[in-house]
Amino acid sequence: MAARRYRSGNQNSVVEKINALLPQSQCGSCGYPGCRPYAQAVAEGDAINKCAPGGEATLLALAELLNRPKVSPDTSYGITQPERVAFIREEDCIGCGRCLPVCPVDAILGAPQYMHTVIAAECTGCDLCLAPCPVNCIDMIAAPEDEPIEKPSGQRHSKVSTSELAPTTPVQPCIRCGLCTDVCPASLLPGQLHWYAQAQKIDMLATLKLPDCIECGLCEHVCPSNLPLVQQFREAKDSLNRHADEQAKAARARQRFELQQARNLRLQETRSARRDVRLLTIKEEMAKKFSASSVKR
Amino acid sequence: MQLVLLACVPGLFALTWFFGWGHCINLLWACLSAAMLESLAVKLRGRAVLESLSDGSALVTATLLALALPPFCPWWATMLGVGFAILIGKQLFGGLGHNPFNPAMLGYVMLLVSFPQELSVWGAPRGHDGAVPPGFLDTLGIVFLPNQFSPDAWSAATALDVFKFREGLTVSELWQTNHSFGAWGGAGWEWANAAFLAGGLWLLMRHRIFSWHAPLGMLGTITLCSVIFYDGGSSSSLGSPLMHLFSGGTMLAAFFIVTDPVSGAASKQGRLIFGIGVGVLTFVIRSFGGYPDAIAFAVLMMNMAVPLIDLHVKPRVYGTAPKRIVPSQSTVPSTRQPDDDQP
């Protein structure tokens, strides 16, 4: 309960939204002691072009969020560098520990008289550790390519590692080779289904029994043109369902209309029958009255 | 594709042995023209040239056309045929996979109808009467310089042609007097057909690149028709089963033309019907029509019928009861359960 009470600010506030766009390097280049104070200042009206590590991207995002004019980055607060991390040259490091308290994100691992090293995954490249080092053993190097996706602290180095993904294969048009038809375990005709799905011919898809497709993916696996058949068939099944729903709805509407027509007709006939009966009664009464009056005279 | 080309090699050997270098020269020239014309067409369509050529389909079309054309066919006719096949038969419809007709057969029919004379210069087969096909340079001259070199010294009608227009001879008389006939089919042609049969069976059984339905349908139907109409070899006989199977382009068509998946039917039962249709039409045109060999016309006509076959022939889906499916239905089934709430 205490944690909930002391949670950093209202999640929906403007300051939080601005802070979410900042790179969280906590470097202080903007003149404020961290990203959140800067966010607060921006919310109160300070210029949005002071963040050097964020660069053009952050500037545009802030301009979009706050509906302010897009200005160019203010280079007096620093130049946007490509992403870099600090690297301690271990042969020169004397273990003095002066870099440890300076790092805003606590990315340097070490203790006095022990070897220091920078946790590259946590380093935001703010350059603050360079100044205190008495032996100049810290270099700024280019950020390594393969970084973990999950970062406990900020969002800055959230590059997705793509080295483990399989290369995408280009999709080419169907060449009607028939391999898909040979492998389908449900004895369907995936080639035909593909052509009809492309042409959106719903009735032919139903005739070819598309709902019986078990989406096993064998047809897609053997296809030499790398067609995304399973995805296409799923979409086609959705079209089929929508079409069936529309038809059912139309049938119901037609039925309701016809019933209503019949009902109105019945009502009209009842009314006119009643009117006729009433008219007849009135006529008789009138006739009686006139004949009575004529008799009176 | 490479396997298909490889399977044509025995047939090519047989044809070259019996009819000379004409087929080889035509093949190389056709492949060259095909590569050039396909590159041109693909470039005009704005697509990657190397990708489109690398699937080898243009080369297969050129090879099949060259094997179907006579050995002394002039170079411009071959080129015209290949051009028509590739540009109009394939690229105009959208490239590989989109053509409704078999491009090789389309090219052949166009040439046959437009240039009947050039397409009837067949060679006399190497045979018992001492006939020898022309040498390499002679054939080059005939093919590429048709005005200067004439193939008359070596040309003869094909076996089917002789058979069709035999004017009252019985079959056995014909066999004895005419040198166009070998042991059971046309001389030379029977070996070529046997070689294509071997190549086709190799593709079918060893590599399974097509199913047996279309070839069996076609060959079975031709056999059946010729058996039904067999009258013991009289002067009006329509040909024995062996004669039909081993003359002309029967085996080439059975294993290399009707098995084309693009212009053939989608389902296996459909392919069987396609093969049967080709067989029937081949027999009918050969026997009662104007052309001695009718495979190309039969194939094109069945290509036209393929959409109809695909509409009505649908294999039974696994797990469903075997009953006929009517194509046009008033209510479209869906994967949802029918809802019971009434309005």
For chain A, say whether B46 makes contact (Cβ under 8 Å): no
Tell me how crowded residue B287 is: count the other CB atoms within 10 A of its CB: 16
State yes or no: pLDDT of A159 exceeds 80: no
Of B261, B266, B316, the CB nearest to A187: B316
Tell me which chain A residue has its CA closest to the CA of residue B51.
Answer: A172
Q: Which of B136, B283, B154 is nearest to B219 (CA)?
A: B283
> Mean pLDDT in chain A?
84
Predicted pLDDT at A167: 67
For chain A, say whether B307 makes contact (Cβ under 8 Å): no
**In the A/B pair of chains, how many CB contacts fall below 8 A?**
82
Predicted pLDDT at B93: 92
Query: Do residues B81 and B69 touch, judged by C-beta distance below 8 A?
Result: yes
For chain A, say whether B95 makes contact (Cβ under 8 Å): yes
- Return the beta strands (E) in B280-328 as ranges: none
For chain B, say whether A125 makes contact (Cβ under 8 Å): no
For chain B, say whether A206 makes contact (Cβ under 8 Å): yes
- Chain B residues touching A181 at Cβ < 8 A: 266-268
**pLDDT bucket at A149, cuts 50 / 70 / 90:** very low
Cβ-defined contact of A244 to B319 (cutoff 8 Å): no
Q: How far is A193 from chain B (nearest CA, A)?
A: 11
Of B97, B268, B331, the CB nearest to A174: B97
Predicted pLDDT at A277: 95
Q: The tokens 């993904």 sit on which residue?
A: A165
Predicted pLDDT at B259: 94
* Comparison of pLDDT for A26 and B313, the residue scoring more: B313
Predicted pLDDT at A141: 87
Q: What is the ipTM of this complex?
A: 0.79
Predicted pLDDT at A5: 47
Q: What's the distance, CA A105 to chain centroid?
A: 30
Measured distance CA(A293)–CA(A271) in Å, rounded: 32
Tell me how crowded residue A182 is: count the other CB atoms within 10 A of its CB: 17
Cβ-defined contact of B334 to A245 (cutoff 8 Å): yes
Cβ-defined contact of B211 to A182 (cutoff 8 Å): yes
- Chain A residues touching B265 at Cβ < 8 A: none
Q: Residue A258, exposed/middle/buried by CB under 10 A (0-12, 13-18, 19+)?
A: exposed
State yes or no: pLDDT of A6 exceeds 60: no
Q: How far is B34 from chain A (nearest CA, A)?
A: 19
Q: Which of B53, B334, B339 to mutate to test the interface with A (most CBs of A within 10 A)?
A: B334
State yes or no: pLDDT of A227 exceeds 80: yes
Region label for B319, one of left (φ > 0), alpha (ψ between -120 and 50) or beta (otherwise): left
Q: Which of B20, B14, B11 is nearest to B133 (CA)?
A: B20
- Chain B residues touching A173 at Cβ < 8 A: 94-95, 97-98
Q: DSSP states of B121-139 as a string? A: -PBPPS-TT------HHHH
- Chain B residues touching A174 at Cβ < 8 A: 97
Q: Which of A83-97, A258-272, B130-144, B305-319 has the lowest mean pLDDT?
A: B130-144
Predicted pLDDT at A111: 86
Of B318, B325, B331, the CB nearest to A247: B331
- pLDDT above 90 covers what percent of chain A? 32
> What average pLDDT does range A129-152 have in this prediction?
75
Partnered with residue A108 across adjacent β-strands are A118
Tell me which chain B residue has its CA closest to the CA of residue A242.
Answer: B334
Predicted pLDDT at A104: 82
pTM of the model: 0.67
> What average pLDDT does range A144-161 have in this prediction?
52
Tens-level pLDDT at each residue, chain B (343 residues): 889 999 999 999 999 988 888 899 999 999 999 999 999 999 998 888 887 788 889 999 999 999 999 988 999 999 999 999 999 999 999 888 899 999 999 999 999 999 998 888 888 888 766 777 888 888 888 888 877 777 777 777 787 887 877 777 777 777 777 777 777 777 788 889 999 999 999 999 988 888 899 999 999 999 999 999 888 777 777 888 888 888 888 999 999 999 999 999 999 999 999 999 999 999 999 988 888 878 999 999 999 999 999 989 888 888 887 765 565 555 555 555 555 444 4
From chain A residues 150-179, the ones with a CB under 8 A of any chain B CB are 173-178
For chain B, say whether A275 makes contact (Cβ under 8 Å): no
Report chain B's terminal Cα–Cα distance, integer Å. Answer: 60
Rounded (5°) CA angle B328-A235-B315 = 45
Predicted pLDDT at A34: 84
> What average pLDDT does range A8-15 have in this prediction?
65
Helix (H) and strand (E) counts for chain A? 9, 4
* Comparison of pLDDT for B33 and A147, the residue scoring more: B33
State yes or no: pLDDT of A199 exceeds 50: yes
Q: How far is A163 from chain B (nearest CA, A)?
A: 26
* Comparison of pLDDT for B337 and A6, the residue scoring more: B337
User: Of the segments A43-47, A55-59, B61-65, B284-288, which one has the largest average pLDDT value?
Assistant: B61-65
Q: Which of A169, A174, A175 to mutate to test the interface with B (most CBs of B within 10 A)?
A: A175
**pLDDT bucket at A77, cuts 50 / 70 / 90:** confident
Predicted pLDDT at B197: 94
For chain A, say whether B328 makes contact (Cβ under 8 Å): yes
Helix (H) and strand (E) counts for chain B? 15, 0
Cβ-defined contact of A243 to B334 (cutoff 8 Å): yes
The DSSP H or E segment spanning A87 is strand A84-88
- Chain B residues touching A188 at Cβ < 8 A: 317
